[in-house]
Structures are given as C-alpha cells and as structure tokens.
Structure 1
Amino acid sequence: MLHPRRSAQHVLLCDLCETVPLQSHCELCNVNLCVNCVGKHLLDSSTGHNVVSHLQRRSTPNYSKCPKHANEHSKLYCEKCNIPVCITRVSSGKHKHHKISDIHENLSAQTQLLQNDLKELENIICPRYEEMAYNVQTEKAEVETNYGELITAADQQGENLHREITAIVNQRKADIGEMKNKHLSTLNKNTKEIAQNITELEQIISDLKSILKANDISLTSTYKSRNSEFRTLPPKVRVTLPSFSTQKINKDKLNKMFGSLQSLSINTEYSDTMKSPEAVSSAPIKSLLDEPQLIATFNTGYKYLHSVSCFGEEVWTRGNSKIMKLLNLQGNQLTSIQTESGNIPEDIAVTRDGDLVYTDRLKKTVNLVKNEHIHNVITLQGWCPLCVCSTSDDDLLVSMISDDKTQTKVARYSDSTETQTIQFDDQGHPLYSSGVYIHKYVSENRNHDICVADREARAVVVVNRSGKLRFKYTGHPSNTKTSFNPFSLLKSAGKSSNTKKPFDPIGITTDSHSHILTVDSNNNRVHILDLDGQFLRYIKNCQLDAPVGLCVDIRDNLFVAEWDAAKVKKIQYYKQG
C-alpha cells in the first residue's frame, strides 16, 4: 500500500517536518525537503549535500544496504576501497583520509561503462557470434550434398571399373571361342583325311576278295599292290590346349586403381580476438591529405594500359599485349613475361612471395609465374576467369563469369583447390551483375572483407570473409544517375568536361587502414571509402586521365594506371609521419 503522503490523492510533503509541501531534494541523502527544512538539513556537516529543485532531481537509484549498519543505505563511495559506504561508516573514521565521492558520480561512470558494454555486445560481439553460427549451419546444410557427391563419385568409379572388367572378360571369352573353333577345324580336317583313306582301303579289300573268288588269271596277273602306299599313316595332329593363367588380385593395387579418398581433416582455427572499441579508436591512424600530391609519372610502353600491381619498389603492368612488364619507379623495364598461350592477360596480381599471377580468359586458366616459369594452377570448366587478387592468407580470389554470361561469382582457391564460392546474398539474389560487360575487379581488405568493383552494376560490393553481404557503395550522391555506357571510357579518354558523369568503378584496392579505393573512370577520380563503405573524399586533382586500375604499396602510396596515355602515376594521399 502507498504511504498516505505519497499517494496520488495527497500533496507530497517534506520528509523532515512532514507538514509542509516539499520543494527541494537532496540527491546525496535522498531526502525530500521543504523550503524551511533545507537550512536545517544543510547544518549536518558529517557528509556532503547536493540540494536541487524537486523537479530537477535525478532518478533515485536503488541504494544497497550497508553491511555494517543494517538501517542505513550506502549513498557515498570510497574511491580508495572501491566500495559504496554509508554516512555512519564515513563518520566513524573507518575511511579516514580516503577520498569519498558522490555515489551518483560513480554510478554515472559505471552506467556509461554498462552502456558501452551493451553497445559492443549488441553491435559487434553478438553479430560475430551470430555470423559464426550462421556459417556453421550453412556448412551443416552442405554436408549431405557434399558427401552425396562423394558417394556418387564412388558409384560412378565402380561402374567404370565394372564396365572395363566386363569388356576384358568378354574379350577373353571371344579369344577362347576363336581358339576352340580353330582347334575343332584342325581335328575335322584330320578326321576327313583319315576317313577318306579308310574308304579307299575298304574298296581295295573288297576288290581283292572278288579277284580271289573269281580265280581269273587275267585279273590276278594285272593286280598291282597299294599296301606300301597305306603303310605310311596320315600325320597325327597334336594340339596343346590353351591355358588361362590368372593373376592374384592385389587389393592394394585395386584400391589405388579405384581411387583414393582423402582423409577427413578437422582442425580448430582460433579466431582473432576482436578489438574493443576503445582499442580500435586508440590505434594510430594516419591522416588523409586534403590535397593528394602527384609524386611521379612514368611511361609503360603500351599503346593502352589496363592495370598495375605493386611489388616493393617495383610494379607489374598489363596492357594491350601478351607481354607483362616489371618496371621500376623510373619506368625502366626490369623483366617481362609472355603469356603461355599468347593471349592478352585478363588481369594480374602479385602474391605475398612476390610471384606474378595472371588470368587467361580464353584458355580459362589462372597461372603462376615463379622464377620466370609459368605454372597453370587453376583450369576452369564452364566458367571464364576474370580478375584475381592474392590474399593475406596466400589464397587466390578469382572473379569469373559462366560461359553463357548469365552468372558471375568470386571463388577462393587454396593452392589449386576451390575452398569457397561467393555468388548469392541471404535472399538468394545474385551479389554481382552478369552480362556482356564483365569487369569484376577484386581485392581483400585488412579485416578480410572481399571488395569487388562491379562496373556494369555501378557499385562496389563488399562481403565479409564468410561471403555475407556487408554493403554496396554506388557512388557519391553528387554523381548523376544515367544508363550504363560501356564505351564511355573510350569516348571520354583525353577529353575534359565539367559535367559529372555516372559512377564508373573499374579498378579497386585497399590500404593499411582498411580504406577502400576505387577508380571512377568516367570522372577521372578515385573514391576513398572507410571499411564500412562511408565516403571519405576524392583523389581528383592529380591530372588523372582515363584511370582504369590501381594498387597501393606498403607505404600507402597509390599507383594509378591511365588507359589512354599508358602511364602510371604515383600519388601520396596520407600525411607523412
């Protein structure tokens, strides 16, 4: 039941005199006071006071009871002991020379800490756990399919072996039948010859008996003996029967012939510990220059330059030629590599070890150049490779399009094994556009996000490491919206215009602060985004002319490939130090 003085039907009265309506409130003592009792309350100097208008009072916290004084609440805070204390305890000298503060101040700080923890749990930690749970569920859903494919492969191999064995058995049986017929033919011929001789012998015997019975001198005198002719018997045919020698079935060889099953490998990969918001905010961040500086420009010798990839103080370049060139920062050629097929490479990248990787769209291959020798590491079936990048884990990310131009995806390869496919969002919609104009440049961020410049969609599409869509960036709002013209670069090359054209992302790269940089070829500029896709600023005042590709070196210097001029420009966009 409500206290009668606190009831909604009664005027709220002073806690001390209990007769006069309250007007003030002491927040430290949690006491309601009238104007007459304020002075009396302040006479108690054993503790501090904070008297405010009753209407301005803060919400009253639930004070804990003092463990030493059961009838009192702990309304003060000892900063040395780090515990709430009551007024009596402070007055007793137990906390002499200790700093005693308002419990509200400590409560405010603790409340802020709770709010920060809640925010981090809700916005950062819990979503990561939910993402992990989602990925595990997805993997579980794929188990039946994956193992079903293994069983199908085993059945297919069994059928293949059965077919081969049946063919061998039928061939052996045919050989045996042929030998049998030849054997019988030989015996039949021998039988016929013997039977013919027997017939003649029987005729001679019959004739002799007739001569002897007739007792005719003329017949007897004309008789000529043929016994010597038949004393030599016909040749006897001896045939050695064929034998069938079987080999003992070697189960080990048969197992190897059937095919090996790689053992199941279960490894526990411990994830990186997420940094707290405080740690992230305190990390040293270099400041972006208000006006990026053009440091160097050098020619590449191509008629048209397509892309550039950094390696230390050198850059690999790709143009309208089957030759890929390694240049120093003065533009001098250090070495060159010709594609194995003689085709123009679709894209190039440099691995963590400094080896060149290039894609051959026509041959459907991804190739690694190591010690100037070309090794085919990936050959696709039904898909054409487009662009490639090497990740911090030394994997390869390859964007590709189906042969019929209806599907586009990004695949991750460890060595030559495909370990991940990124193609659809959570609703089953394609993440990337498909069609005739197929530029899909790909890069990995420091937080393992996978960033794709989808030119036909006029968007930068960013997914996290597990392939879940994080955001799409479709350009700064100042860019006008018009239909896609794939030949805009060719038409506008070398021409200047003050008219803003649609966002035209081609090349893409990331830097040490997880900033995303993408070429906007239509407008001769580079967009800089933060790791969450928020636009930061342009790089546009460095005389860029038809930029089409870019990369960042270990010092966060930007290298931009210019298509029509076939030049590389080195740009500083961070402040030094």
Structure 2
Amino acid sequence: MVEPSQEQAAMQHYLVCGTKDCQMNGQFYCNVCHRPLCEQCRDEHLKCADTKIHEIVLYRHRKHQLPVEKCKLHPTRNIDIFCKECQIPLCSKCSTSKEHNRHTFDDLEEIYAEKYKCQQSEFAKIQRYFLPITQSLKKDIKRDVTEIKNLMESIRTSMKLGAEYLKNLVDEVTSENMEHTYTVEKSLIKMLKSQEKTYDDYIAYLERMTDEFQEHLSLTNQKLLFSKTLRIKTIPDTTKPVPPVFTRSQFNKKDVAKLLGKVYIPETKPKRRNIEPMNADTTHMKFTEKQLEQSTEKSDIKQTLSLSSSVTKVREYRVPGIDSAWHVSVDKSGRLWVSNGNSNLVKTDLQGKLLQKVQTSGGGEGYHTAAKDGVLIYTDQDKKVIYGITPDKKITKFIKTGDRTPICVYSSYINGDILVGMDTDKEAKVTRYSKTGKEIQNIQRDNQGQGLYDYPHYITENINGDICTSDFKKQSVVVVNKSGQHRFSYTGQKAGFCPWGICTDVLGHILVCDSNTVHLLDQDGGFKSVILSSQQEIYGPRGVCVDDENNLYVGQVFTSIVTVYKYLK
C-alpha cells in the first residue's frame, strides 16, 4: 500500500498553528521558521524585531523545508549548499575547503523547492490526466461488460424462443401427420370392409346355389334335373390394399443448428479505445491543494456531466417491512438501506427482496450511512452508540458518544471520517471521528461565538470537504468548511422552509428536501432550481442520496416506494 504523502496528510484535517499552546487554524506559513501560523500569530510574528523580515505566505504557497541530512565529514553540520561546478550537495564547512576554492554555490533549499514543485506537477498529471483517463477507460470496460452480458442474455432468450417455436412446429406437424395416419387407416379399412361384404354376399349366394343343386340332383325330382342347367357365377374380383409407406426425414445435429442459428463473432478488427491526448494545460499545470482535495475517482465524470434540462424517472423500489421512507442509503453493491419513522431499518436488493431488518431508536433523521468499504453505519439514540453492519450482516459497536445523543451520521468518501450530528443538554454540535472511532474535531460555534446548530438531523459532506447539515429547529441548511468555519446558511426561497434529507453530487451540488419539494443549490449555497415537486408526483420527500452512477434516490413520508431519478446528463 502506498503511504499518503506529507501534502495529502496535511490536508486531511485542518492545520494547527505551530506556535506553542495555540490550537487555531494555521492557514499561513513562515518560510524562514518553517512552521504554520494562525492569523493572530502571523501578526505577532511580523511585529517582533527578530522575525519581522521573515517571509510569510499562505500555507498552500509555502516553501517546503529541506530534509535534514548531516554531512559525513562534519557530523555537526547540515548539508544545505549545492556546488554548481562539482554538482554535489555540501555543508557550509565543506564549501570553504581547497577542493571547492572559487566554486560557485546555490542554496540547496531553493533547488529542493524547485524539484519539489516539479514532482508536484508530475503528481498532478496523475491526478488530473492519467488516473481520470484510466478510470474512464475502466468504466468504459465495465459498460462493455454490462452490454455484453445484456446482449448475450438477449441472444439466449432469442435461442430459447427459436427452439420453443421449432418445438411447437414439430409438435404441430407431428400431430397433423398422426391425424393423417388415422385418415389413411380409416380409408383402407373401409375399402377392406367393403370387400369383406362382397365375399359375404357371394358366400350367401353359393349357399343358395348349393340348395338349388341339391334339389336338382334329388332322385325324386328328375324333371328339375332336365329342365335347365344351373350356372355358377364367378368369384368377384377384389384388390389387395397398397400399404402406406413412411419415409422418415434424414437429418442430423448440423441440420438442426442451421434451423436454430448460431452465435459467431464477426471477423472485424476491434476498435482501439479512445485515449484523449495530454494537452498543454495538463503538461504545464501548477499543483494546488484544491486539486489534491478533489476526488480523483470522480474527476473524469465531472468533466463531462452537467445538469439536465429535465428530470427523468428511472425506476422505483417498493421496500418491504416499512410504511414510509424517511432516509435512504445505497451501499457499494447497489442495495438499499431504508428507514421509516418508527425505528425500523431494512436492507433490500434491487428486486425489492428483504435482506435484513434492524430495530434501533432512530426516527425521522438521517441516522444511517453507507461507507466506502461496504459497512453500514447507524446510530442508536437511546443507547448513545454508533454501530456498524458488515456485508455478512454482523453488527458491532463502533463508537460510544457518552452523554451526547447521536442524531445523524455520514461516512466521508474523501477520507473515511465519520461525521455525527449531536444533541447535548447544553447545545448541539457536529463531531468528526476517524475511521477507527477516535474523536478528532468538534464543530459548535461560528466566528462570533454563536451556536451553529439547534437540531442537526441530516448531514452530508461535499466534494470540497464542506460539511452540510439540515437543521430542523433553525429551519436552515448550515454549511461549514472542513476546518469548522461557517461558510453560509440556506433558509429556502420563502417562509416556512423545513429542511429534511440532504446529499451532494459529483459536481458539488447540494440537494435538500423541503416539505414537498427537493431544492438544488450550487457549492456556495446559491439556489439553482426546484428539481422535484408534485409535478413529478413527489409528496413529502424526506430521504435523498446519490449513487456512483449519479442517480438520485428519493424516499417519501407517505409511501414505502423509493423512486430513482436521472437529473445529470
């Protein structure tokens, strides 16, 4: 496994000021002292006589400190000089030796900074070109796999239909042939019965003639004997029937295969997949922290997607075991986790089959979330515990929240952190935990010391690290950056805004449910549109989420049906 770079590690959470006992956000950096500074410490640094000439820049523009390396000839000295003639790094004492007499030297830290910048540029190419293009090709292959599977399934269906049709024809012809045999048999039997009757009549005639002959030959009646001569009729002619002949068709497996058809791959040269060339902007790009923060998994999609002019219903699921859908989570396998307002949490597959049911103490809140590793994370408000459910249905305790009630939860797709909306006796807050359950950060007040939250009941994270929360009591969407600083609040387009389920997409849009509509905001809280309303037969939307294919799942309060929409193109 590749370890995260120092740059990446620094951006996972907000930077702490390097001044002793100061825990403020270190958004500035002293290139001389090589330490982060908050705004207050920066001002004090520039006022101090010893440090007022120091170069202080924004943290992302800092000069990276030269790694410490001791000189082998002078172990007490650091290597920090570069001899241009010898092309080797030196310490300051080595530069005064005879071997480097009259040589010119450069600051090794400046060279290191330039090399570091160059490597950053190469790393950025991976993030913005090589990785997105490769992931796009991989997704193209996945689409091809799906298309091939669908095509082969349709071919198999066609084969079955062809075979079924042929079997029906065989049955029909066989039935007709069998019926014909009965007709032929009946005709021949009728002819033979007629011949049999002919001979029955002739035998009767012969029996009468016998009686006449006996009378003529009687010695007592000589007159009859000489009266006339009896003549016997000839035996009637009949014909033997010509027996039917059955000629069985001569055919083999190949003949049947010709009738049913055969699958073959055309002898066509496969087309090469299109790989977009690296343009000049990519080759000479400058590396920034913002580029690192963007999800490389979604960057290739982001370049091609945009809002569609209309919203299209893709499909819908009737979820068993519940009567309403207050919150929806989609795991990496595409299966749904849906909760109602009565503490029931169920898992269903794409065919609507119930796979698992969990009883907890949550209600109309976003109290479950699907993590990237396939684990479903959910809260139990009464027990003040956060649980995890593995794909094999094993439930384990994950985090104990002490005296705080965990209302809503979200698993970050950026770094795996767990964001939890909390309710306490004093005031509400958002707490950040690491993937291992360690408490990292508490977000509670704005810059004026005012409480940010009253009742955060749905929570999500945007692609830039912003934490977006629906606050039921404040009747607003509260958004802070990853450091916990308040960015903006959205209070709807008219009075009575009541935010429920909330999610974000690959373009940084924020989607939030109002009482009977779903609003779409940009990354900075600007209202863009109402994308779902009663016109799309949406009544009481509560739970929303977006899957990896950019489909929007919507759960409603009055039905157990979860509807899926396509709104990006």
Q: TM-score, normalised by structure 1?
A: 0.46
TM-score (norm. length: structure 2):
0.46
